[in-house]
Amino acid sequence: MKRGTRVFVSGGAGVIGHALVEKLHAAGAILMVGDLRPRPSRWPGEIRYRQGDLNFIEKRELDDFAPEIFFHLAATFERSVETLDFWEENFQHNIRLSHHLMTQLKESNSLRKVVFASSYLIYDPEQYFSPEPARHAVRLDEGSAIQPRNICGVAKLLHEIELRFLTDFPEIGFEAACARIFRSYGKHSRDVISRWVRGLLAGEELRVFKEEGIFDYIYADDVAEGLIRMSAPGIGGIINLGTDNGRRVREVVEILQQHFPELRQTREESDISFEASQANAERCRTRLGWSPGRQLEDVIPELIEAERHPSSQAANYTPIRVLVTSISGKVPLVRELRRALEKFGPSCRILGADLNANCLGRHFVDDFWAMPPLRRLTPEVLASVCHDRGIDAIVPTRDAELPYYARWREALAASGVHVMVSPSEAIDRCVDKLHFARALADKGFPAIPTSEALADIATDHYVVKERFGAGSAQLALDVSREQALAHGAGLDSAIFQPFISGREYSIDVYVARNGKVKGAVARSRDLVTNGESQITTTCRHEALETLCSHAAVNLGCLGHLVFQALEDEDGQLHLIECNARFGGASSLALAAGLDSFYWFALESRGASLDTVPFFRARGELRQIRHADDLVVQA
């Protein structure tokens, strides 16, 4: 493989994928890796990593990377007997995933090779299963009878056929190679050899089933080498990847006993048949000019040494549970959060919370908590509730609660609960509109002049609003001096601003935990009802997005926030206020590519967003907010 080749690897943080990625990186490939698991800690920053469910990766993300070679390893397996729960898992993460990835890639202008990690499970087990121990293993070649022995094997065969279908069309510009991999094993794996090594190091007794069974064990590093060789031009079709050397389970135990003289074992009864299979690797030798050379005796000492130390590979994927507070009727927010969590991975859950136990939002979440007022909720009690309910992250949704969560964000983080909220200093600047205007003006930003004294504002037309709380509450717009004084007298804490005629915008911004802006999307406020955009349209306004991004950093904000701004008739920009939370119409910014909830999920698990790209949608989008109905089982 040439240095600088652009390579996309799905399932790259698995046992085979980890070995493959390290070999490719050493060879100078430019890499993009996708996996449900977190990024392996020792991988260098130049490897683009996409953590999450690849069922939700979009064509624009793959087109942006422009892979020349695609290694498709992502898959899910169960052990010898598949359970009923595997029915849906196999469909989502084997059948659907493979089809989705090739749907996104099949018309790629850059792609020239697909290498698919298939399996020997597609061969008819009647060829190598028997009720009694076999004398020799059956050598399965690429022309052996096919009858997948389980639904995972069915998924592998289906995608082999899909790839053959695609490459039959002249307009498809890539070739495909499918590796039918035999019993792979590797460091820090779930395979039986690694499990036995971990058990023996812990002083456990081995449970051995069908010790006369014969399998072709191939080391993950050898699988990776074979896959790379299959990526060469002109290598297509089906190739077995195995050692062509069947070994009895008993032999594995005997090798382990050489390293663990005190090994204890229990022979377990099982009603499954005896297996006796191995790869006929002749095609591998002739087509690739290579064959796997490492045998169990060579590798097991390395596995033992590796298992003595913590893994540097990726941790296993664990779903995230998010608490959404003051949920009220914020159904669009819940919907967008759920989409982001689906992208993060399966089995994620949303817990809604509100003072009103009968709020509409409770019907759109997975669980509901009738939470007490914040004045009666200590951070210790909140952390305990989160621990008991398995909550990893909190998304506050109401301005009045932001100071509470900002104050306790670090204490909650120390207990393992991450809050999408800015630090207290930033929240104070945003909640207090007078403080906001002065803080930005002092830094040279074009904040609208704001004062508690009407005399400080030299204009004939005024805006009067509450200093704290929602900007639209008790708002008086374009009023005279006398009207401004009268209106201000009826407010709790009135502030005065000059009325400036122009076009209003909302600008959604996400600031990563490192203080850098990840992205910004401006949108015009086309129809405003009760202070919120009923109709809003995205627009490319680079100056405005850059201005708000710089303002967010200067304010010290983190997470998702929404600026309100105005462009006057002379084209001058004016910053009005900032809501340091997800806004009512912010779902349009998410549709335009500002993936705030997904980014927050990643950051709450310790991931860096440095190599996670921001993809702005092509063309502009308009959102019309309207009521909708939900019908559920009574």
Average pLDDT of the residues in 11-35: 97
Can you tell me the distance from the alpha carbon of 585 to that of 525, in angstroms, rounded to the nearest whole number?
Answer: 10
How many residues does this entry show for the chain?
A: 634
pLDDT over 90 (residue 311): no
pLDDT computed for residue 271 by the predictor: 81
- Shared-domain flag, residues 228 and 83: yes
336-340 long-range contacts (CB < 8 A, ≥24 apart) are 336/586, 336/587, 336/590, 336/597, 337/395, 337/597, 339/590, 339/597, 340/590, 340/595, 340/596, 340/597, 340/598, 340/600, 340/601
pLDDT over 90 (residue 629): no
CATH number for 343: 3.40.50.20
pLDDT computed for residue 474 by the predictor: 80
Can you tell me the distance from the alpha carbon of 467 to that of 448, in angstroms, rounded to the nearest whole number?
Answer: 14
Q: What angle do CA 76, 77, 81 make, to 5 degrees?
A: 150
Q: Residue 10's closest CA among 110, 119, 93, 82?
A: 93
pLDDT computed for residue 316 by the predictor: 87
Provide the b/e sequence for 522-557 (b: ≥16 CB within 10 Å): bbbbeeeeeebbbbbbbbebeebbebbbebbebbbb
- Percentage of the residues of the chain whose pLDDT score is greater than 70: 99
Which has more confidence, 630 or 420? 420
pLDDT computed for residue 98 by the predictor: 98
Q: What is the pLDDT of residues 386-404, one digit of tens each?
A: 999 999 999 999 999 999 9
Q: What is the pLDDT of residues 578-611, one digit of tens each?
A: 999 999 999 999 999 999 999 999 999 999 999 8
- Shared-domain flag, residues 511 and 533: yes
- Percentage of the residues of the chain whose pLDDT score is greater than 90: 91
Is 255 inside any structural domain? Answer: no
pLDDT over 80 (residue 482): yes
CATH number for 505: 3.30.470.20
- Shared-domain flag, residues 353 and 463: no
Can you tell me the distance from the alpha carbon of 570 to that of 457, in angstroms, rounded to the nearest whole number?
Answer: 20
Least confident of 39-53, 60-74, 458-472, 546-560: 458-472
**Per-residue confidence band for 312, with pLDDT thresholds at 50, 70 and 90:** low
pLDDT over 90 (residue 470): no
- Shared-domain flag, residues 85 and 162: yes
**Per-residue confidence band for 315, with pLDDT thresholds at 50, 70 and 90:** confident
Average pLDDT of every residue of the chain: 94
Is 211 inside any structural domain? Answer: no
Is 400 inside any structural domain? Answer: yes
C-alpha gyration radius of the chain: 30
- Shared-domain flag, residues 518 and 477: no
> Tokens representing 393?
């992250």
Residue after which a domain boundary falls, among 439, 466, 499: 499
pLDDT computed for residue 471 by the predictor: 60
pLDDT over 80 (residue 278): yes
- Shared-domain flag, residues 526 and 510: yes
Measured over the CA atoms of residue 550, residue 555, residue 558 and residue 563, the dihedral's sign is negative
Is 429 inside any structural domain? Answer: yes
Q: Residue 93's closest CA among 80, 76, 81, 109?
A: 76
Q: Tokens 């000059």 label which residue?
A: 498
- Shared-domain flag, residues 407 and 439: no
pLDDT over 90 (residue 8): yes
Q: What's the DSSP call for residue 92? A: I
- Shared-domain flag, residues 180 and 283: yes
> Tokens representing 571?
């084209």
- Shared-domain flag, residues 46 and 149: yes
Is 311 inside any structural domain? Answer: no
Can you tell me the distance from the alpha carbon of 232 to that of 2, in angstroms, rounded to the nearest whole number?
Answer: 10
- Shared-domain flag, residues 178 and 237: yes
From residue 507, give the alpha-carbon distance in Å to each of 91, 336, 384, 525, 597. 40, 18, 36, 10, 16
Is 120 inside any structural domain? Answer: yes
pLDDT over 90 (residue 36): yes
Average pLDDT of the residues in 507-515: 97
Is 260 inside any structural domain? Answer: no
Is 50 inside any structural domain? Answer: yes
**Per-residue confidence band for 192, with pLDDT thresholds at 50, 70 and 90:** very high
pLDDT over 70 (residue 472): no
From residue 252, give the alpha-carbon distance in Å to each of 217, 347, 393. 10, 36, 45
- Shared-domain flag, residues 412 and 341: yes
232-238 long-range contacts (CB < 8 A, ≥24 apart) are 232/1, 233/112, 233/113, 233/175, 234/175, 235/177, 235/287, 235/288, 236/167, 236/175, 236/176, 236/177, 237/142, 237/177, 237/178, 238/118, 238/142, 238/160, 238/178, 238/180, 238/283
CATH number for 19: 3.40.50.720
Average pLDDT of the residues in 205-233: 96
Average pLDDT of the residues in 235-262: 96
Can you tell me the distance from the alpha carbon of 629 to that of 306, in angstroms, rounded to the nearest whole number?
Answer: 56
- Shared-domain flag, residues 411 and 482: no
pLDDT over 70 (residue 473): no
Q: Look up the domain containing 511 and give its range.
A: 422-447+501-634
From residue 54, give the alpha-carbon distance in Å to each of 8, 152, 210, 343, 395. 12, 18, 37, 7, 24
Average pLDDT of the residues in 10-39: 97
Question: Domain count of the chain?
Answer: 4
